[in-house]
Amino acid sequence: MTTGVQVRRRMGVEERRQQLIGVALELFSRRSPDEVSIDEIASAAGISRPLVYHYFPGKLSLYEAALKRAADDLATRFVEPQEGPLGARLLRVMRRYFDFVDEHGPGFSALMRGGPAVGSSATNALVDGVRQAAYLQILVHLDINRPPARLELVIRSWISLAESTALIWLDGRRIPRAQLEAQLVHDFAALTAVSAAYDDEMATLLRRMLKDEPAEGPFTDLVGRLIALAS
Amino acid sequence: MTTGVQVRRRMGVEERRQQLIGVALELFSRRSPDEVSIDEIASAAGISRPLVYHYFPGKLSLYEAALKRAADDLATRFVEPQEGPLGARLLRVMRRYFDFVDEHGPGFSALMRGGPAVGSSATNALVDGVRQAAYLQILVHLDINRPPARLELVIRSWISLAESTALIWLDGRRIPRAQLEAQLVHDFAALTAVSAAYDDEMATLLRRMLKDEPAEGPFTDLVGRLIALAS
């Protein structure tokens, strides 16, 4: 007589590790990692608690592996073909960014707000890696290799603006996410324009950024509305 | 015969604690807290290492006490009389904010970047407390008790923009700080304007914010330059 358990194919080490990472990530996406126990992860994976420790020496190492997978996933979403107007490209990336934030809500909040389970040098390095991937993608789309200090500042500080906007959205979801995706595209243009208002190099860059924007694109729409607002 | 040490008046417990906090804060303002040992703090305070542990059970508790003093100091700098144009008020606060960042460079970076010595729930609570103090001060100056969700988002995300701008500035100081102080004031207006371009309530608020701005103020100057840039 064979039971269901015995029939089930034995997983290899790497396959089992990947399964546990997936299970953990799924649990972390619904509740803060601090609130998820190894027992729950074991139970959701259908294995014993000691067996989890066989694959991951502790919860932190499983957390870091899950975060690594999520970070790789997020970095992939930043990649966008270098075709068409910049505003539309950035808007598509913002949609995929909010998809990610939506899918990983509690885990994303816990990580970015710095709960007790986070703040290790490995998790900080992963978060910094994602920020750096976002920064480099933007440079690629702007077609710039050696950014002036002011442009680097605009891009990096806008990335932190995008993070905080997502975090604030998760806390109650009081504004429709589609509006915030568009707002972040507009914010990028606005912060660049502020820098350009006081620096010639940035002004040249802004003009180049805007020259191929279509009338129906997010940048042109914003400029039209701002002019209407000012008058 | 009396030596200098014997002559020196004995400090009370609270006085000694305050002295150690001051010494630690001074060391943390020149090097990352991770790199400062209890031995150094003891030596700089002119007492033995065991005596430091008599006043603070460990480095983390001394770090938290130092951070508490720095947080209280920073929150004090946000306070500004409710007089005169808003842009000029915010610019004065930005100057004091950069004074603080300048004075506490390495400690500020280590804290905000989340090094190993940080990330405890107590330190996170202190950082959140400072952000909340900044948020409430801005509401006071805008004369608003119950902010709509979009205004809360603009203010809170701008606060994170100010943090990242300061952090990027500290990393190489490649842009004069006075320019960044003004830029953050402009950024606040720009982010508010982006939100106002798509929301009537925010548009009303923006008009109220700008109505008393003088021609030579930072907001008017920005609008003039942006119009010149667009044409």
Q: What is the ipTM of this complex?
A: 0.92
Give the closest-approach CA distance of B121 to chain A in angstroms: 6
Contacts across the A-B interface (CB distance below 8 Å): 123
Give the closest-approach CA distance of A158 to chain B in angstroms: 7
Residue B99 domain flag: yes
- Residue of A119, A191, A203 with shortest CB distance to B119: A119
Give the closest-approach CA distance of A80 to chain B in angstroms: 25
Q: Are B226 and B103 in contact (CB under 8 A)?
A: no
The residue among A119 and B155 whose pLDDT is bigger is B155
A161/B156 CB distance under 8 A: no
pLDDT in tens, chain A (231 residues): 444 455 567 788 999 999 999 999 999 999 989 899 999 999 999 999 999 999 999 888 999 999 999 999 999 999 999 999 999 999 999 999 999 999 999 999 888 876 545 557 788 889 999 999 999 999 999 999 999 999 999 999 999 999 999 999 999 999 999 999 999 999 999 999 999 999 999 999 999 999 889 988 899 899 889 988 887
- Per residue in B100-127, pLDDT (tens digit) is 999 999 999 888 876 545 567 788 889 9
Q: Which residues of A touch B191 (CB under 8 A)?
A: 161, 187, 190-191
Does residue B121 belong to the interface with chain A, where contact is any CB pair within 8 Å? yes
- Residue of A180, A191, A229 with shortest CB distance to B197: A229
Give the closest-approach CA distance of A189 to chain B in angstroms: 10
What tokens does A63 get?
Answer: 């957390």
Residue identified by tokens 């701002």 is A226
Does residue B125 belong to the interface with chain A, where contact is any CB pair within 8 Å? no
Taking CA atoms, B26 is separated from A152, A157, B157, in Å, by 31, 28, 30
At residue A8, the pLDDT reads 60
At residue A119, the pLDDT reads 59
Does residue A203 belong to the interface with chain B, where contact is any CB pair within 8 Å? yes
Does residue A179 belong to the interface with chain B, where contact is any CB pair within 8 Å? yes
The residue among B231 and A16 whose pLDDT is bigger is A16
User: Does the pLDDT of residue B223 top 50, yes or no?
Assistant: yes
- Per residue in B50-71, pLDDT (tens digit) is 999 999 998 889 999 999 999 9
B187/A191 CB distance under 8 A: yes
Does residue B168 belong to the interface with chain A, where contact is any CB pair within 8 Å? yes
How many Å is the Cα radius of gyration of chain A? Answer: 22
Give the closest-approach CA distance of B139 to chain A in angstroms: 17
A160/B156 CB distance under 8 A: no
User: Does the pLDDT of residue B3 top 50, yes or no?
Assistant: no
Give the closest-approach CA distance of A194 to chain B in angstroms: 7
Q: DSSP letter at B123?
A: H
Cβ under 8 Å to B: A residues 26-45: none
B226/A193 CB distance under 8 A: yes
Q: Which residues of B touch A175 (CB under 8 A)?
A: 149-150, 153
| Weakest mean pLDDT among A189-193, B118-122, B181-185, B198-202 | B118-122
Q: Which residues of B touch A196 (CB under 8 A)?
A: 229
> Residue A157: which CATH number?
1.10.357.10
At residue B115, the pLDDT reads 53
Residue B35 domain flag: no
Q: What is the mean pLDDT of chain B?
A: 91
Cβ under 8 Å to A: B residues 61-90: none
Does residue B113 belong to the interface with chain A, where contact is any CB pair within 8 Å? yes
Give the closest-approach CA distance of B182 to chain A in angstroms: 10
A196/B229 CB distance under 8 A: yes
Does residue A7 belong to the interface with chain B, where contact is any CB pair within 8 Å? no
User: Does the pLDDT of residue B8 top 70, yes or no?
Assistant: no
Does residue A150 belong to the interface with chain B, where contact is any CB pair within 8 Å? yes
Residue B7 domain flag: no
Using 50, 70 and 90 to split pLDDT, how confident is the model at B2?
very low
Q: Are B126 and B67 in contact (CB under 8 A)?
A: yes
B150/A182 CB distance under 8 A: no
C-alpha–C-alpha distance, residues B103 and B109, integer Å? 12
User: Does the pLDDT of residue B5 top 80, yes or no?
Assistant: no
How many Å is the Cα radius of gyration of chain B? Answer: 22
Query: Which residues, 6+ apart, have CB-to-CB distance to A141 below 8 Å?
Result: A80, A82, A86, A89, A90
Q: How many domains does chain A have?
A: 1
Give the closest-approach CA distance of A197 to chain B in angstroms: 6
At residue B116, the pLDDT reads 47
Q: Using N-to-C axis directions, what is the helix angle for A218-230 and A177-196, rounded to 10°?
A: 70
Count of CB atoms within 10 A of residue A212's CB? Answer: 12
User: Does the pLDDT of residue B212 top 90, yes or no?
Assistant: no
C-alpha–C-alpha distance, residues B68 and B166, integer Å? 20
Q: What is the span of the domain harbouring residue A79?
A: 4-230
Residue identified by tokens 């279509």 is A214
- pLDDT-above-90 percentage for chain B: 75
At residue A2, the pLDDT reads 44
